[in-house]
Each structure stands twice: as structure tokens, then as C-alpha cells.
Structure 1
Amino acid sequence: MPRSAAEPERSEVRAGDEGPWALLRHLERLGLGHREPLPAQEAARDVWSGVGFRIGGQHYVAALGDVAEIMTWPAVSRVPHTRSWVRGLANVRGNLLPILDLSAFLGRGEVAPSRLVRVLVIEQQGVNAGLLVDEVLGMRQFDQADWQESVSAEAGITPFLDGRFSTAEGEWPVFSMAALARHPRFLSVAD
């Protein structure tokens, strides 16, 4: 009886074939007979990836490799005789991690407790620290072509900026965790 166009082709293995290997070869031939060409590939873009975050009303982005971890605000133990932007020490999986208020360090006032507050954990040049930020905005990807060297920002934050990405969403200043970790004021936590 002839097969209708709507009926799928039957996969049959003839008597005398050599078991499962013959079946696999037969299935492979059937699959290769019905394959479609791969879609045309788009030209690869040169993409820069980072973590977006907010301090006050301004959003920034840090290189993805500069942020080791993102966590919620942990319980901290205050450390006496430290600057006001040092919130304390947290025990993170058995390791002591200094928790520092990035907004207060930059002279913008303390981060207010909220469910959106996050800690960006950095490990830069032997400096391990947790930086309190108002909110993490997720992973961001930018075309390298959108990067610009010049940044207009407040004087207190300029030493920590490494260009910006200009997109339809607006300006995204690139915050350099390496520049922060080597800055003398950041390294001087004693009051």
C-alpha cells in the first residue's frame, strides 16, 4: 500500500543486520537525509561584559572579572576606630570580609538599608572587600564601539572611572575596582 505524504517514513532494519550498530547506522542515514542547512552566521561583535550597579541615582558598570561575587547585606561586627564608611567585618563562609559603604566612601552619604542593597565582593591586588551598593542592575553587555574615554563626573569619583559606554539607555560610567583597590584613601581605614 502506498504511503501518504503525511505519514512519516518507517525506520526498518532488515533481517540479518548486525544488531544495534546496524540500527544506529540506519538511523544516522535517515537523519542525514532530512537535515537542513545551518542558518547563516552573523558577524561576531566585540562585546564587553560587566555588572551594572547603582549608587544614589547614578548607575555604573564594573568589568565582569572585577566582581568576584554578589551577595545580600550580611550581618557585620563593627570595628572600632575605623572610618565611617567601614561598616564592619562579616563572616563569609569562614572568611572575614570587610564590608565598606561605597556611597559613603565617595562622599554621597550612607547606603540606606533596603531589600535592594547588595554587596559586590572584590578581590583586587591582594585587597578583598565587600562594597555596599544601593542596587545591582544585573549583567550588562556593551559593544566595544560604544566605549568612550572621557567621563564627566563629580570630582570624588573621577579617579575610579575608566571611560564610559554611551548607549540608547544612557551613559554607563565604567567603575574600576582596580583603581579603587590601590587608592591610598581606600587603603587607609583607620580613623
Structure 2
Amino acid sequence: MTEALHPFHYLLDLSARAREANALLPVADTDAAQSWNGVGFRLGDHYCVAPIGDIAEVLVEPPVTRLPGVKSWIKGVANVRGRLLPLMDLTAFFNFDSAQGRVSRRILVVEHGEIYIGMIVDEVLGLQYFSPDEFSAESEGVDPGVARFVQGCYQQGDRRWALFRPLNMLEDQEFFNVAA
């Protein structure tokens, strides 16, 4: 039976082994440091990516209280940790067909100053990473309704990702005209 190490010596040994293992790891890729990343999501058949700084959090669709006298794309309000979160269905706002059921739908929460809203999307596809040479300032092929909120596209393989700016929606009069 071996004698147990004193806790301090155990920590020193653990630290030495971690440094040895760290030396075997590859050096960080400089291209990864220059890449741009954002939250990828889908609206109908359209793939979009939003800057990660524009999205406060991503939520599963909570129970919603409907509001009377509002447009059909306003789903209502939800209580999220004691705050009322108005929920807007972006797929319905842009008149897209929702390709999947409610299971994959998520909420992109946008918080900017006093504005706190949830934008319902068909699916969140996680963080997406793009190199600068995949970006084009042209929004060719983007649906005209969405194009006013897009600032270019990333082409990655055969998939085109529209750079969607949720904060631009906060300045759009149609988006805030919610009365039916």
C-alpha cells in the first residue's frame, strides 16, 4: 500500500502534470483568432446569423399569455425570471412558412437600453464561425422583407448566411406597430 500524499504535494504534482500535458497541445490557430462568430438561426428556409453581442440569451419557448388587439405575429408576453418578455414571431412577421414544428423553435432575446424583447425563430443552429474572406457586403438572394435588416452575407460551402442585425429591427416602425 502506498503512502497518501500530503494535499499540498498532491496539488504540486497535479500542477506539474497539467503543465506537461499543456505543452503537448497544439498552438492556437491564428486564423481562428481572426474569424467572426455569431448565433446562427433559421427563419423558414432562410439561414441567418446575428452578431453574438446583439443577442442577450437564447431560450426555449416559455408559456405565453396572449394579448388582445395585436397583430398575429405578436405571440404575447412571457414571464422570464420575473420580467415580462414580449414575444414576436419573426417567421410570421416576414410571412415565411415555418418548416418545422414547435419543438425546435427558440427565442433570441434582445436587450438594448430599455427595450427587452424575444424574437421567436424556427431553429437556433448554435455559434457559427466565418473567416473574413467568406463575407460579402452584397445581400443578393436575400428575401426583400428581410434584406432591410441584413448587412451582407457569409458564404460557407453551399450555404449562404444572411448577417441579420436584430438591433436594426428596433428602429423599424413596422416592427413596433403592433396594434391589429
143, 151, 161: which one aligns with 1:162: 151
The 1-side partners of 2:75 and 2:22 are apart by: 60
Structure 2 length-normalised TM: 0.80
The 2-side partners of 1:139 and 1:77 are apart by: 30
Structure 1 length-normalised TM: 0.76
What is the match of residue 87 of structure 2? 99
Structure 2 residue 33 is matched with structure 1 residue 44: no
* 1:55–1:134 Cα contact (<8 Å) kept: yes
What is the match of residue 49 of structure 2? 61
What is the match of residue 164 of structure 2? 175
* 2:136–2:152 Cα contact (<8 Å) kept: yes
Letter in 2 for 1:44: T
Deviations 1:52-91 (A, max 9, x none): 1111111111111111111111111111111111000000
Q: Secondary structure at the match of 2:148?
A: helix
77, 82, 85: which one aligns with 2:65: 77
Residue 39 of structure 1: how far off its partner (Å)? 7.0
What is the match of residue 186 of structure 1? 175
Comparing both chains, which one has the higher relative contact order based on Cα–Cα distances under 8 Å and sequence gaps of 6 or more? 2
* 2:45–2:99 Cα contact (<8 Å) kept: no
* 1:111–1:132 Cα contact (<8 Å) kept: no
Deviations 1:18-54 (A, max 9, x none): xxxxx9xxx8xx99xx999777746622111101111
Structure 2 unaligned regions, length at least 5: 1-8
Q: Larger Rg: 1 or 2?
A: 1
Structure 2 residue 71 is matched with structure 1 residue 114: no
Deviations 1:128-161 (A, max 9, x none): 1111111111111111221110012121111010
Structure 1 unaligned regions, length at least 5: 1-22
Structure 1 stretches of 4+ with a deviation exceeding 3 A read 34-43, 109-113
Cα distance, 1:110–1:96 mapped onto 2, change above 3 Å: farther
Letter in 1 for 2:72: S
Cα distance, 1:44–1:154 mapped onto 2, change above 3 Å: same
Q: Secondary structure at the match of 1:156?
A: helix
Cα distance, 1:70–1:42 mapped onto 2, change above 3 Å: closer
Number of aligned residue pairs: 168
